[in-house]
Chains A and B, each alone.
Chain A
Amino acid sequence: MKKVLIASALSAAMALPMSAIAADYKVDTTHAFVNFKVSHLGYSFIQGRFNKFEGQFSYDDKNVAASKVSINLDTTSLDTNHAERDKHLKSDDYINAGKFSTAKFVSTSVAETADGGLAITGDMTFHGVTKPVVVDAKVIGQGDDPWGNYRAGLEGTTRLELADFGMNVKGASTYVDLDIVLEGIRQ
């Protein structure tokens, strides 16, 4: 038992320097947006958003690979600025928010891209299906805010193929583009 304790204390101590570098941020949901865009008939787009979610991320520009992002989202909060359409989109014809009321993204690895952005690979769970996706992201800025906190902001985009997530594909609306803006307050 003692050995196990020492071993785990040691391994924890060794892990510390790595994890301590990346600062932890809690998403400030008043300055964060999960927007989506989906084709309408192939002629235009419907834009909408999810109003309720929470998330956190870790980021340090000196150790990008240690970064992490996770978002939990309430799918019933879908909002396309048209209640009748929202009701239809939330029904089992589309996202079935009654049954699959949460969606989430949990990063599995983060890499720096050649252009200075981030490739955030992670598991996206939506409509009850979990698939790996890559989010093209970038850090927009970071620094002290006027109210005594330290903030960092990320923007990421990714495309979900509806068929991959077991959703009905209708006409030109085969995919949905997500545009996520997260501002985090360092903890």
Chain B
Amino acid sequence: MSSSLVTYNKLAKLLHWFSAIMVIGLFAAGYWMVDLSYYSEWYQTAPHWHKSFGLCFVVITLGRLIWKLVSNGPSIEGSAFEKKAATYAHYLIYILLFTMFLSGYLISTADGRGIAIFNWIEVPGLGSFIENQEDLAGQVHEYAAYILIGLSGLHALAALKHHFIDKDNTLKKML
């Protein structure tokens, strides 16, 4: 990480904002679809799209991590505490993302079935590793989703705080 940079590179920005849309979109879709009536016309399509977008997001996030490792970005601004907190929050967001990916996968594949990505390709299922896997993975998926959306909200508030209160470059370097 070079501190001489003032903004993130274009690809990093694109990946960041795409991830933001995905996190919010997948959360909203997931929150809504679990309470759909069996007779809703969305009952089958909403989970199908949720899973398809989710799996695409896995690939994008893996690419994003690789890009983050090989490219340079600006350093985090703020107090020593803020820098530390931001760093850990970013790690935690990535950990939560992969928790979501893994738990989501484990729900749908507990019976050995694969998951279709928009009917393009099917990601193979590996079956059950633990008893009642679909229930446990479902709980992990639900709680991790709430933590992730909460932490994402905090992340956004922190950026706004830096922009409007500290009047520093934090938000602008991602725009």
Binding site for B on A (CB under 8 A): 76, 81-84, 86-87, 90, 97-98, 170-171
Q: Does B38 contact A (CB under 8 A)?
A: yes
Contact of B135 among A76, A170, A171 (CB under 8 A): A76
- A170-B38, A171-B39 known; A87-B111 Cβ under 8 A: no
Chain B interface residue count, CB cutoff 8 Å, equals 15
State whether B134 touches A83 (Cβ < 8 A).
yes
Binding site for A on B (CB under 8 A): 38-39, 47, 107-111, 113, 128, 132-135, 138
Beyond A82-B113, A83-B111, A90-B132, 20 extra complex contacts between A and B, CB < 8 Å: A76-B132, A82-B111, A83-B108, A83-B110, A83-B128, A83-B133, A83-B134, A84-B108, A86-B110, A86-B111, A86-B134, A87-B107, A87-B110, A87-B134, A87-B135, A87-B138, A90-B135, A170-B38, A170-B39, A171-B38
Max chain B C-beta neighbours (<10 A), residue from A83, A86, A87, A98: A83
Contact of A84 among B47, B128, B132 (CB under 8 A): B47
Closest to A171 in B: B39
Collect the chain B residues with CB atoms within 8 Å of residue A86's CB.
110-111, 134
**Least Cβ–Cβ distance between A28 and chain B, in angstroms:** 22
Collect the chain B residues with CB atoms within 8 Å of residue A170's CB.
38-39
State whether A83 touches B107 (Cβ < 8 A).
yes
Collect the chain B residues with CB atoms within 8 Å of residue A90's CB.
132, 135
A85 to B107, CA, bound (A): 10
A81 to B47, CA, bound (A): 18
